[in-house]
Amino acid sequence: MMARFGEWLPGAIPICGRAVLSVLTRVGLMAVLVMTASAYADNEKRDYFGDYRVPAGFEYSEATITPDKARELAREHVVLTLVNVTEVSPAVAKALVIPGGDTVLTLPALATLDEEAANILAQRPGRLRLWGLKSVTPEVAAALVAHDGDRLELNGIKEISPAAARALAKGRRSWGISVGLIDLPLEIAAILAEFPYNLDFPYLETLSLESAKAIAEHGEVVQRGSETVGPTLDLGKARLTPAIAEALLAHDGPLSLNRLKRLEPGVGDVLSRAEQDRHNP
């Protein structure tokens, strides 16, 4: 199946491939990309995809938190940010676990998380944004995806070991995972391609042709009524050459280019030709 390129809207984050449009013309695409860059130009340190204030919610500013306080806040606020909390104990993790998937928990300063606390925290079905973590062991990675739930975001992780990547790829987080890799080595691409759900690399900058071919194997299509649906693959800000774009067309699901600010010469031609081929098989 040929990949479809997702909807380019300012700040849009594709979820489960629900909003998929045709490939835009080169002129239209470039216009929207310019709009995206200008609409979210920010002089602050965080960009739109790493700002814990989006979506807005309650911000707890203390550096430590007790289980009782965690339980109180989790029950009162569906969108909760523990701004300065650096460590979550198993007891606090248990207090933070509440039913219902329409919640967001963000820990932008989280520095350490052991396997026991990770396994408990992963039982929270809502979105988990553990942006403060800079690394994960294979054991912690496996624990974080041991339970089904909304999207897991590990945007602070810029490098990952093959063992930790393999643990994530075997995970059950059916709304997808986000990993903050800057570069996508071939070995890591081949491992993460085994993850069956949405896969997001919001800060990716470097993507080789070999890695593009490997990550294009990500996911499998499923039949939902008369519609064929595959998982979304978001490649962040990675520079795409025509050859890389061609390789990515093998992906069995929507490809998101929301974070690109411009297209390299020839890439628009590849995308336009692919869309024409899709409509005229």
Q: What is the secondary structure of 64-117 as a DSSP string?
A: ---HHHHHHHHHH-SEEEETT--B--HHHHHHH--S-SS-EEE-TT--B--HHH
* Rg value, the chain, Cα: 19
Give the strands of the sheet with 177-179, arranged side by side.
4-5, 254-256, 233-234, 199-200, 177-179, 152-154, 127-129, 104-106, 79-82, 58-60
Report how far residue 182's alpha carbon sits from residue 165's, in angstroms, rounded to the nearest whole number.
15
What is the per-residue pLDDT for 166?
A: 98
Cα→Cα distances 132→114, 115, 228, Å: 14, 16, 36
- By mean pLDDT, which of 1-10, 32-41, 270-279 is the weakest? 32-41
| pLDDT of residue 6 exceeding 50 | no
Average pLDDT, rounded, for the chain: 82
Tokens of 228: 């064929």
**Nearest to residue 189, comparing CAs of 172, 176, 201?**
201
| pLDDT of residue 85 exceeding 90 | yes
Give the orientation angle of helix 267-279 with respect to helix 26-39, to 10 degrees: 120
Over residues 58-81, mean pLDDT: 96
| Phi, psi (degrees; rounded to nearest 5) at 58 | -80, 135
What is the per-residue pLDDT for 30?
A: 33
Q: Is the pTM of this model over 0.95?
A: no
